Amino acid sequence: MVALRIDLVFSYWVYVWFILYFLNYTKYSPKFALTLGLIDNIVLLFLMIAWSTSLKTIIWFIIINTLIKVVPLYYLRNELFKMKDIYFTIGLFLFYIIWLHINSQSLVGNIKLIHNSLLYGKNETPFMNLLSKIESNFKTL
């Protein structure tokens, strides 16, 4: 199984942005982007439950998104949404779309791949694939 590269998933771009913000390398807060991502993930979680996705995949999904979205949002909980941050989010997302095209990907195709991977437990997203590989290595011990 071939996993999607980490640079082709926008959530990880936002997580790197959070780290840069946390380390004071940027003045633009990722709170707006993290909030949108969390809303998308909540919808996706309900779809995973409706599609009877395996419990293991759902648990991994919750753990990963708690680490890359909920924990950063908790850290940013007292910040307000600012227009400059929303504009930066839009600009970063547009750059991400350009990056996808440079890498012969489309936004819609990527979204479908990610959602299908999660709904059907294919483990084609970066960290789901990593967890799957770790699990299979432990099974062979």
> The whole model's pTM is what?
0.90
Boundaries of every domain in the chain: 6-139
Q: Which amino acid is at 61?
A: F
pLDDT, tens digit, for every residue of 78-120?
A: 999 999 999 999 999 999 999 999 999 999 999 999 999 998 8
* Sequence-distant (≥ 6) Cβ neighbours of residue 4 within 8 angstroms: 110, 113, 114, 117, 124, 125, 126, 129
Do residues 61 and 119 lie in contact, with contact meaning Cβ atoms separated by under 8 Å?
no
Q: What pLDDT is stored for residue 58 in this prediction? A: 95
Q: What pLDDT is stored for residue 141 in this prediction? A: 62
- Mean pLDDT, residues 51-62: 94
